[in-house]
Amino acid sequence: MNRHEFIKICGGTCLGLIGIGSVLQSCGTTYLVEGTLNNNRLQIKKSDFIKVEKDQTKYRKYILVKTPSLDYPVVVYRNNESTYTALLMRCTHQGNELNVSGDILTCPAHGSEFAKNGEVIQGPAEQNLTSYPVTIDQDKIYIQLS
């Protein structure tokens, strides 16, 4: 095999792997909701976590909440029926917006990783994510931003 054939085969293989990775990444969906902000308290509905698949009610692990008054979205994890975790999606290393993939939040700039409780898993970030107190009532989830 000459150099030209080698590059052609390796290039095609790499492009194929990139394409497969993109397809696999797009299989997971992130549910985005618009939160209501009142007195520095972000409000969403508990029902935002509900999804129906094949006539079965299931719960999303997390949702992203956006509101025009925040520079970054907030990810809200449903730990169980009565416990939720809310984290600002801003990397503590250099302030980039994080990507969410299941229980891991990743910074696309330098690769810092955070657990769903906001703790640093991998640097270069050294500080945990900003987390917010969460309270609930019968129908709503309240995230206290300050």
> What tens digit of pLDDT does each residue of 40-99 get?
999 999 999 999 888 899 999 999 999 888 899 999 999 998 999 999 999 999 999 999
Cα-Cα end-to-end distance for the chain: 64
Q: Where are the domains of the chain?
A: 1-29, 31-144
Provide CATH code, domain 31-144.
2.102.10.10
| Residue 135 confidence class, pLDDT cut points 50, 70, 90 | very high
- Residue 35 in contact with residue 64, Cβ under 8 Å? no
| Residue 24 confidence class, pLDDT cut points 50, 70, 90 | very low
pLDDT at residue 3 is higher than 80: no
pLDDT at 146: 83
- For 116, other C-beta atoms within 10 Å of its C-beta total 18
pLDDT at residue 23 is higher than 90: no
